[in-house]
Amino acid sequence: MTDPVPFLDLTAQFGALEAEWLAAIRETGAKGSFILGPNVADFEREFAEYVGVKHAIGVANGTDSLILSLRALGIGPGDEVITTPYTFFASSEAIDVVGATPVFADIDPASFTLDPKSVAERVTDRTRAIVPVHIFGHPCDMSALGEIARRHKLAVIEDCAQSFGATVGGRVVGSMGDAGSFSFYPTKVLGCYGDGGMITTNSDAVNEHVRRLRNHGAVKPFIHVEVGCNSRLDEIQAALLRIKLRRVRADIDGRRGVARAYDRRLAGTALVVPATAAGAEHAYNLYTVRIPRGRDAARQALADAGIPTALCYPQGLHLQEVYRRLDYRPGSLPVCERLTEENLSLPIYPGMPERHIDRVCEALTRALA
Ligand SMILES: *Cc1c(COP(=O)(O)O)cnc(C)c1O
């Protein structure tokens, strides 16, 4: 293929940011402030402002942001935490890492996000928290989940790893729970050139606790009040993220533009384009369609035409080998299991060339005819 269609192309954007980032790195070097320096502090303030929260705390990656949020909210051994089986493993892995038990609820077939009715059915007297995941960039039904949380006094930790900038009812994700958890893994909507993560919260107590946990449980140099860890956002990544945050609205608009083109071109075929709930704005970290019949053949036809796709996700977490001890069975969460057979994620990124969108749509339309 002379003109390969990438699933995601990070190189064009690097070219556009390179000079500005390198200048910021040189400035950091000249100051000699490499850990928890001015870039991290400034980025935390700018990030909190964007999301509309009181505090933002930079950490080493998105997985740690979930772990430290759970710890700061007091979730631990003996506790149950309800989450979705239709997500990247880190969402539930973090619950295990703090010693709690993940409890999987089923999902809504239109948005791929947690079904509040299924969540309500799984609340027990050991349930302490809900981890809604705004999967692919589609916000969860936060008003229904918030209502369940209030009724049963549960903490809510939003997993916003794939949904930076998505909104529901005019509120930005990461501002609606007790804590919001973000990843800056390079493929995310706001990605850096390495690992990074952020926790958002309106709670002064959570803010203070997370700041302590990310830095060895220290309240001041060499004075430790608890066992924490080393999980800090890197100063050089924070310098890049400050630059990218200033342009992120255009990036999200670019993703939405590709999604609108796909929606328009693929309507009327045998596939189901992603829906957006009323009052919500999708961030399209991924553009995931459902192909009720013949998904694997369509995927092969696209591969033969030089078009990469991804299966997000090929298996519900409840059926993964690691969770055999939790005793779920095929059929336990039927909507999730059906969608694992039907999903197909298409190439999408800001600046994706029109001719590549054309090729994806033509190959897919042909495969489904
Ligand atoms: C990427 C991702 C994470 C983990 O983020 P890392 O920065 O890779 O640790 C957590 N949850 C979801 C839904 C993700 O997509």
The answer to whether residues 233 and 124 belong to one domain is yes
Q: Which two tokens stand for residue 187?
A: 């493929």
Considering the domain architecture, whether residues 268 and 301 belong to the same structural domain is answered as yes
Domain-embedded: residue 1: no
From 226, 245, 264, the end of a domain falls on 245
**Are residue 19 and residue 97 in the same domain, yes or no?**
yes
Question: So what's the pLDDT on residue 3?
Answer: 87
Q: Which domain holds residue 355?
A: 248-368
> Cα 182 from chain centroid?
7
Q: Does residue 210 sit within a domain?
A: yes
The residue contributing the CA closest to ligand 1 atom 2 is 161
Res 107 pLDDT > 80 = yes
Whether residues 177 and 81 fall in one domain: yes
Q: Is there a single domain that holds both residue 322 and residue 194? A: no
Residue type at 214 in one-letter notation: R
The residue from 224, 245, 266 where one domain ends is 245
If you write DSSP's letter for every residue of 128-189 in order, what string do you get?
EEEE-B-GGGPPP-HHHHHHHHHHHT-EEEEE-TT-TT-EETTEETTSSSSEEEEE--TTSS
| 273 and 178 within one domain | no
Q: What is the CATH number of the domain that holds 304?
A: 3.90.1150.10
Is the distance from CB of 156 to CB of 127 less than 8 angstroms? no
Q: What is the pLDDT of residue 19?
A: 96
Helix (H) or strand (E) holding 223: strand 223-224
The answer to whether residues 62 and 210 belong to one domain is yes
**Of 181, 215, 245, at which residue does a domain stop?**
245
Mark whether 27 and 152 lie in a shared domain. Answer: yes
Is residue 2 predicted with pLDDT exceeding 80? no
Contact 277, 47 (CB under 8 A): no
Q: Kindly list the catalytic residues.
A: 188
Does 255 map to a domain?
yes
Domain membership of residue 5 (yes or no) is no
In which band, very low, low, confident or very high, does the pLDDT at 1 lie, cut at 50, 70 and 90? low
How far out from the chain centre does Cα 178 lie? 17
**Separation of CA 92 and ligand 1 centre (Å):** 11
Q: Are residues 223 and 146 in the same domain?
A: yes
Nearest ligand 1 atom to the CA of 188 is 1
Go through 154-184 and write b for each residue having 16 or more CB atoms within 10 A of its CB, e for each that does not: bbbbbbbbbbbbbbbeebbbbbbbbbbbbbb
Q: Are residues 131 and 197 in the same domain?
A: yes
CATH label of the domain that carries residue 184: 3.40.640.10
Q: Does 70 reside within a domain?
A: yes
Report the predicted TM-score, pTM, of the whole model to 2 decimal places. 0.98
Cα separation, 361 vs 166, in Å, equals: 25
CA 358 to ligand 1 centroid distance, Å: 30
Q: What average pLDDT score do residues 294-305 get?
A: 97
How far apart, in whole angstroms, are the C-alpha atoms of residue 129 and residue 100?
A: 10
Do the Cβ atoms of 34 and 165 come closer than 8 Å?
A: no
Q: What DSSP string runs through 29-73?
A: HHHT--BS-HHHHHHHHHHHHHHT-SEEEEES-HHHHHHHHHHHT
- pLDDT of residue 319 exceeding 80, the answer is yes
Going from the Cα of 369 to the center of ligand 1, the distance in angstroms, rounded, reads 36
Q: Is residue 51 part of a domain?
A: yes
Residue with tokens 């772990």: 67
Contact by Cβ (8 Å): 210, 216: no
Read off the pLDDT of residues 215-224 as tens digits, 9 standing for 90 and up. 999 999 999 9
How many structural domains compose the chain?
2
Closest atom of ligand 1 to CA, residue 195? 7
Ligand 1 centre distance from Cα of residue 161 (Å): 5
Residues 255 and 209 reside in one and the same domain: no
Structure tokens at 369: 């005819």
Let me know if residue 179 belongs to a domain: yes
Look over the chain and give the mean of its residue pLDDT values, rounded to a whole number. 97
* Rounded to 5°, angle at Cα 96 from 91 and 98: 105
Q: Are residues 48 and 192 in the same domain?
A: yes
Q: Is residue 148 part of a domain?
A: yes
**Inter-CA distances, 346 with 6, 248, 284, 335, Å:** 10, 21, 11, 21
Mean pLDDT of 279-299: 97
Using CB distances shorter than 6 Å, the residues near ligand 1 are: 61-63, 87-88, 90-91, 133, 159, 161-162, 183, 185, 195, 197
